[in-house]
């Protein structure tokens, strides 16, 4: 199943992911430069929060699009797939 949402949503996701990619490259440079641990930890927390935001956006789009459609069509497999995924993440 492909990503749910509009082309505008996908463009927004790509831009967010590009910013996160830049954050990760910045983290690598910080490690190479032997920067202070607390600075690196702060950047890791920031990148992690940004990824959680992307995850939340994709999940919301999936619930509003794919899952809503599956519920209307009584497609239990798509719903079970999401439940299985949510059980595996920690």
At residue 44, what are phi and psi to the nearest 5 degrees?
A: -65, -45
Number of domains in the chain: 1
**pLDDT by residue (tens digit) across 5-63?**
677 888 999 999 999 999 999 999 999 999 999 999 999 999 999 999 999 999 998 99
Which residue range is the domain that position 65 belongs to?
A: 7-88
**pLDDT by residue (tens digit) across 56-77?**
999 998 999 999 999 999 999 9
- Whether residue 1 lies inside any domain: the answer is no
- Whether residue 74 lies inside any domain: the answer is yes
Cα–Cα distance between 13 and 77 in angstroms, integer? 26
At residue 56, what are phi and psi to the nearest 5 degrees?
A: -65, -40
Give the pTM.
0.81
- Whether residue 24 lies inside any domain: the answer is yes
CATH of the domain at 36: 1.20.58.1000
pLDDT at position 3 over 80: no
CB 47 within 8 A of CB 20: yes
- Whether residue 2 lies inside any domain: the answer is no
- Whether residue 18 lies inside any domain: the answer is yes
């Amino acid at each position: 199943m492909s990503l749910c949402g509009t082309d505008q949503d996908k463009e927004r996701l790509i831009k967010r992911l590009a910013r996160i990619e830049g954050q990760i490259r910045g983290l690598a440079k910080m490690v190479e430069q032997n920067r202070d641990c607390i600075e690196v930890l702060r950047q890791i927390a920031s990148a992690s929060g940004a990824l959680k935001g992307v995850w939340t956006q994709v999940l919301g789009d999936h619930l509003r699009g794919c899952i809503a459609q599956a519920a209307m069509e009584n497609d239990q497999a798509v719903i079970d797939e999401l439940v299985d995924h949510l059980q595996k993440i920690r």
